[in-house]
Amino acid sequence: MSYGDQDFLEERHRSFETPEKVIFDLVEKATGKKATARNRIVAGFDNEVYSVKVSDGKEYITRVRRFGEVTFHQEAWAIEQSKAKGVPVPQILLMDNIEQDGKKLEVMVTDKFDGVPLYDKLKTLSESDLHKILFDAGSILGKINGIPVDGFYMRHEDGSWDFPSWERMMETAIKERGAEKDRILKNGFSEEEFDFMIKGLERYKNEFPNQQPVLCHGDYLPEHIFINENNEVIGIIDFGMSQGGQKIHDLAFFSMEWPSIDMKPLKDGYVTQTNLPDQFDAELNFCKLGLEMGHLAYQTQISNTKGAGFIAKQLRATLEALKA
């Protein structure tokens, strides 16, 4: 995340750790090779993640689901759907469960891309190289968002979805954002501004009806876009927030998290695979409104002061754009 607070993440991750032997046993079960070393990766809110080296020097990724709404089975489904459309995704080698501290935890072992996250090179890339990478990333996102699904928000193991229609999903979202009023006002917004936000969500529901949900990655950011030494996109990771939704969702999420990045090359690549919404700018801002309200309430709830401050600034900018 552009507002990532590493101290906050490290403190969050210090509250749990899977024993090394358990992680090694999982990797050996998945690969048939002896695990020799592990390196913990502290980079996200929901999963405990390790890069594990085996006897032949190759490394694999082991993830233990600690938080989050999307199960690894749902994530695996989204990965396989994307793979079928030519999206470069990790190969899933093992899906399993472990018991720890009286809790049953999901585990996933995958191969590891040889490159690095785009995030790691953002400060050193030339403008032309960054634009090329974003164009390619946009094309890949277009493939993901070109996959029609049968419902909105989270998919369940029986194939059903949380919401059968756009209207039902938005009605629930409006109710939930309304219940988070105190957390949002805590960040310096007035009663009048909050009323404007809720009315904005009502407008979004009514003015941008969605009859065909598509697969959304849910967390399509530079942290999850892997590139090689030639600045080619070689992999997309972490479908842990995948969901059924409107095409604008992933682009709005990217814009919310990385307002400093020019989205034009991302959009240019996107349209090589699927179309953009007709009223792109308006729909982008309405979608960001809902995302920012929800994320601001969440960052406030978990006491991530830096994250809440960043999102509050973004939300204020979105309000100004909607009022213009």
Averaged pLDDT score across all residues of the chain: 94
Per-residue model confidence as pLDDT tens digits over 103-158? 899 999 999 999 999 999 999 999 999 999 999 999 999 999 999 999 999 999 89
Per-residue model confidence as pLDDT tens digits over 133-146? 999 999 999 999 99
Domain 116-323 carries which CATH code?
3.90.1200.10
Structure letter (DSSP) for residue 67: S
pLDDT for position 92: 98
Structure letter (DSSP) for residue 252: H
Residue spans of the domains in the chain: they are 6-111, 116-323
276 contacts 149 by C-beta, under 8 angstroms: no
Segment holding 174, helix H or strand E: helix 166-179
Strand partners for 47: 65
171: pLDDT strictly greater than 80: yes
2: pLDDT strictly greater than 60: no
pTM of the model: 0.92
Strand partners for 166: none
25 contacts 54 by C-beta, under 8 angstroms: no
- Among 292, 274, 262, 244, smallest CA distance to 125 is for 262
- Cα 324 from Cα 313, distance rounded (Å): 17
Fold of 6-111: Phosphorylase Kinase; domain 1 (3.30.200)
